[in-house]
């Protein structure tokens, strides 16, 4: 039997990195993955006398959030299944993300929690709080926090053609000395 691994997702690049990290470093064929998403509590706004208009706007906003979460779950499930994860569950709850993630992990008997982090500094973490910090200090199961690593910029499309321009190809202007040098390397 494998492990039950809770992976927290929120649509950010940090949660995407956490999913990738899980797949590269922890995934075993018998593991079960629980994708967990926590939405902040959104209250119905009351704006003056036009409450019916406010209600409609709020409903539209809630529907948009639901569609975004569905797309997020679909994308992450597809990635996990494509990489060999056979058991993928999804849990979505509303509330304060830190305590709710800890609760989801306990309810689902998670053996490990994997989550990303924004990479906030000590001061902002102290003032604003940190979901990963809360989970790390309150969860009963081990927590793996995938630190923020900026995604590298892809090389320009013509990068490789520029790097190897004229190498071992006499039709693109390589002279005889270039070809002779390449011949020496080919012989050794």
Q: What is the DSSP letter of 144?
A: E
Q: What domains can you pick out in the chain, each with its CATH number?
A: 4-146 (3.40.50.620), 155-188 (no CATH)
Owner of token pair 């999913």: 19
Owner of token pair 């797309």: 71
Check residue 159 and give its pLDDT.
54
- Give the separation between CA 15 and CA 21, rounded to whole angstroms: 10
Check residue 35 and give its pLDDT.
96
Q: Give the mean pLDDT of 1-13.
A: 90
Check residue 182 and give its pLDDT.
45
Check residue 171 and give its pLDDT.
45
Would you say residue 89 has pLDDT above 90?
yes
Which residue did the predictor score with more confidence, 161 or 23? 23
Check residue 55 and give its pLDDT.
76
Whole-prediction pTM = 0.70
Would you say residue 74 has pLDDT above 80?
yes
Q: Give the mean pLDDT of 47-53.
A: 59
Check residue 98 and give its pLDDT.
93
134 within 8 A of 102, measured Cβ to Cβ:
yes
Check residue 54 and give its pLDDT.
73
Q: For residue range 102-139, list pLDDT tens digits in order.
A: 999 999 999 999 998 875 555 555 555 688 889 999 99
């Amino acid at each position: 039997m494998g492990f039950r691994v809770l992976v927290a997702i929120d649509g950010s690049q940090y949660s995407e990195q956490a999913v990738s990290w899980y797949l590269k470093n922890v995934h075993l064929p018998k593991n079960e993955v629980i994708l967990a998403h926590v939405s902040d509590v959104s209250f119905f706004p009351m704006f003056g006398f036009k409450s019916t208009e406010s209600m409609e706007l709020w409903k539209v906003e809630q529907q948009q959030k639901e569609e975004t979460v569905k797309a997020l779950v679909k994308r992450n499930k597809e990635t996990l299944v494509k990489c060999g994860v056979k058991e993928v569950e999804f849990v979505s709850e509303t509330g304060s993300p830190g305590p709710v993630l800890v609760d989801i992990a306990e309810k689902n008997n998670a053996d490990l929690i994997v989550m990303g982090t924004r990479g906030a500094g000590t001061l902002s973490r102290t003032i604003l709080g940190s979901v990963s910090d809360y989970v790390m200090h309150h969860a009963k199961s081990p927590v793996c926090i995938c630190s923020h690593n900026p995604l590298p910029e892809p090389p320009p499309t013509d990068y490789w053609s520029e790097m190897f321009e004229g190498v071992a190809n006499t039709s693109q202007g390589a002279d005889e000395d270039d070809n002779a040098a390449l011949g020496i390397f080919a012989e050794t």
